[in-house]
Amino acid sequence: MTPDDQDLVVIGRLGRSRGLNGDIYVTPLTDYPERFAGMRELYVSSRDGWRKLTVTAARLISGRPVLRFQNVDCPEEAARMTNRELAVPRDQLVELPEGAYFVFDLVGCQAVEEGTGALVGEVIDVEKYPANDVYVVRTEAGNRLLVPAVKQYVKRVDIETKTITLATAGLLDGEES
């Protein structure tokens, strides 16, 4: 039985084939690429929805996951799977440390001003940078506001109520269009 689409979380995308046995590289969309080494089943996107496939071999090569699926035995079959998304049921997600959040939980949150509770906008994306992540907020005026995901600006994240409280001093003056 395949879970509903809303019960699945995309954790990677299949890349090019590798070798002669049907192995295929994975581009991880997770901060934990090593998790692929322990996978036994994954959901793979197709035109008809999600299909559960059995993983018969998994390893990391230069830090990048490489998978082999049951009934995928040659490079041609693996190549036909390129660019398909990989997903797991929500209950199989990696447990995050305190203060860390999944991007899909942050997108759609309402960004509000600390103190007043005034709506600043909605988080539409999270961009990753070496120093810290940056929340991309679409303001009420339709502009993009880039908010560094650091304690100086992000005062509180409440996933339950889909609300992120921001200290806006110094942020709103530099609002992008």
Three-class DSSP category at 131: coil
Asked whether residue 80 falls in the same domain as residue 42, the answer is: yes
Domain-embedded: residue 50: yes
60 within domain boundaries: yes
Concatenating the DSSP letter of every residue in 93-107 gives SPPPPTT---HHHHT
Strands 163-166 and 110-113: parallel
Question: Do 130 and 165 sit in the same domain of this protein?
Answer: yes
Residues 133 and 81 in one domain: no
Number of domains the chain contains = 2
**Domain assignment of residue 130, given as a range:** 103-174
Q: Is residue 56 part of a domain?
A: yes
State pLDDT tens for residues 49-66: 899 999 999 999 998 999
In 3D space, the residue among 31, 26, 53 whose CA is nearest the CA of residue 40 turns out to be 53
Both tokens of 104, joined, read 């899909």
3-state class (DSSP) for residue 76:
helix
If asked whether residues 84 and 147 sit together in one domain, one would say: no
pTM of the model: 0.70
One domain, residues 33 and 64: yes
Give pLDDT tens digits for 72-129: 999 999 999 999 999 999 888 878 888 888 888 899 999 999 989 999 999 999 998 8
